[in-house]
A and B are shown apart, each in its own frame.
Chain A
């Protein structure tokens, strides 16, 4: 067994290592297959784009803009829901855990953003006090349309155990319109993901 690796390192029946730089002889399969493939695709695209434009235009004229384009927007929107990255109380711990390695909310396209200008959905995760109420409304108004609100946990849903307290808003729906309520004190990350999937169902049926 003297130096078997040295024999294996050189391919069988290979050309000698020197004097083999002619492209036509060295790489015949790549050069012959790739170029006609690209040319055919380019020609097809040149024909396809005007044809597709014409077909799509007639389809829109026939069935209406909302029926043809709106599902595409809904499909894109519901699969890239960006929630506002903020936390009010202990539900924010579960909110943060949902984006960790174990539950990984990013597989649903849910990526928390730090600026309300880049967000689609506000997840109200915690107790809302009257002191923070106008800041919450400001953040909501800074989000671009279309936008949704998820009330996460009992406090955001209805005030929770602090409902009759002097400083707590009894439900965030007193301040902003809420689309999905998630029960729990706090809800587990699975429950939060379930609420996001419920919101995706709402967006799927969105008409206007």
Chain B
């Protein structure tokens, strides 16, 4: 499966909300999309293209904006696929993928607590690795490496 094949399937369904499909090493391609089209894209990718397994959901902090990416696997094509969207840093929201791939649940919890991406309509957006009430987003670039005592004072009150 080539990027052109992906464009041929996805472009009629998404229209201008599909920002393009580019080659990405080791995968079938990297699909860039507007975040408003997330749910439509997820369903099209799963039902029309056959990517039924979600391997990973992650977030990247690019300082001026943040990126949410999804890595998918197709057992039919034996290929990976990367979906990627940009969200503004002051409003990092995107629709949850857990209604399409249930395995997104914990991955999105992790991306939420570490990078601060908020997944709308997530069934159970709780802390996974850090304690309840932990306010920091440790994988953001603005997170400074704390002195242990300073962090202790902050973490003790969670």
Residues of A within 8 A of B (CB): 130-131, 133-134, 159, 163-164, 166-167, 169-170, 174
Contacts and interface: CB of A to CB of B under 8 A. Distances in A.
Among A163, A164, A166, A174, find the residue whose CB has the most chain B CB atoms closer than 10 A: A166
Given A131-B131, A169-B152, A170-B152, A164 B158 contact: no
Interface of A is mostly: loop
Given A166-B136, A166-B138, A167-B138, A130 B131 contact: yes
Contacts of A159: 148
A174 B152 contact: yes
Contacts of B24: none
Interface string B99-140: 000000000000000000000000000000111001010100
Contact of B130 (A163, A167, A169): A167
Interface of B is mostly: loop
B147 interface: yes
B134 A130 contact: yes
A73 to B, nearest CB: 36
A133 B136 CA distance: 17
Contact of B155 (A130, A163, A164): A130
Contacts of A174: 152
A6 B111 CA distance: 86
Contacts of A169: 152
B145 A164 contact: yes
A166 B151 contact: yes
Given A166-B138, A167-B138, A169-B152, A130 B130 contact: yes
